[in-house]
Structure 1
Amino acid sequence: MTDFQPIQLIPRVTEATANAEDTARADLYGLLATLLYRAPDAALLHHIAANRAIGEDAATTLGEAWNGLCDAASIATAAETADEYQQLFIGVGKPEVLLYGSYYQTGFLNERPVVALRDDLARYGLVRQDNVSETEDHIATLCEVMRFLVAGEDAGIANLAEQQHFFSRHLQPWVDTLCDAMAAHPQARFYVQVAVLLKAFMAVEAIALDMH
Structure 2
Amino acid sequence: MADIETKDPGAEARHRSDIYGLLATIYRQEITSDLLGQIKDPQFLGALSVLEVEGIDGLMQKPAAELLEDLAVEYTRLFLGPGKHISPHESVHHQREDGQWGMLWGASTVEAKKFIEATGLSYTDDYKGMPDHISVEFEFMQQLTLREEQAWKAADAARAGACRQVEKKFIEEHLIRWVPAFCEMVIQEAELPFYQAVAILTRSFIEFEMKEMNRNGDGVSS
Q: Give the shorter-chain TM-score range.
A: 0.7 to 0.9
What is the CA distance between 1:44 and its match in structure 2?
A: 2.4
Aligned positions of 1:96-135 closer than 5 A: 96-105=85-94, 106-135=101-130
Indicate how the Cα distance of structure 1 residues 207 and 98 shifts in structure 2: closer, same or farther if over 3 A, else same: same
Q: Where does residue 28 of structure 1 map in the other structure?
A: 19
Q: Where does residue 86 of structure 1 map in the other structure?
A: 76
What is the CA distance between 1:116 and its match in structure 2?
A: 1.4
Indicate how the Cα distance of structure 1 residues 70 and 30 shifts in structure 2: closer, same or farther if over 3 A, else same: farther
Q: Where does residue 156 of structure 2 map in the other structure?
A: none
Q: Aligned with 1:171: secondary structure? A: helix
Note if 1:206 corresponds to 2:210: yes
Q: Distance in 1 between matches of 2:160 and 2:52?
A: 32
Task: Tell me the TM-score normalised to structure 1 length.
Answer: 0.78
Note if 1:165 corresponds to 2:169: yes
Structure exhibiting the larger radius of gyration computed from Cα positions: 2
Indicate how the Cα distance of structure 1 residues 44 and 194 shifts in structure 2: closer, same or farther if over 3 A, else same: same
What is the CA distance between 1:68 and its match in structure 2?
A: 8.3
What is the CA distance between 1:186 and its match in structure 2?
A: 4.8
Q: Which runs of 5+ in 1 are unaligned?
A: 1-16
What is the CA distance between 1:199 and its match in structure 2?
A: 0.9
* Alignment size in residue pairs: 190
Q: Tell me which moved more, 74-83 or 26-35.
A: 74-83
Instruction: Render the CA deviation track for 1:118-172: whole Å, top value 9, x for unaligned.
Output: 2211211122234222211000111111111111257489711011011111101
Indicate how the Cα distance of structure 1 residues 79 and 100 shifts in structure 2: closer, same or farther if over 3 A, else same: same
Identity %: 26
2:48 and 2:197 in contact (8 A); partners too: no
2:92 and 2:104 in contact (8 A); partners too: yes
Note if 1:177 corresponds to 2:168: no
Q: Distance in 1 between matches of 2:86 and 2:53?
A: 24
In the alignment, residue 206 of structure 2 is paired with which amino acid? M
Q: Distance in 2 between matches of 1:157 and 1:96?
A: 39
Indicate how the Cα distance of structure 1 residues 156 and 122 shifts in structure 2: closer, same or farther if over 3 A, else same: farther
Q: Which runs of 5+ in 2 are unaligned?
A: 1-7, 95-100, 152-158, 217-222
Q: Distance in 1 between matches of 2:51 and 2:36?
A: 16
What is the Cα-based RMSD across aligned positions, in Å?
3.0
Superposition misfits of 4+ residues, deviation over 6 angstroms? 66-70
Q: Aligned with 1:84: secondary structure? A: helix
2:54 and 2:193 in contact (8 A); partners too: no
Note if 1:39 corresponds to 2:21: no
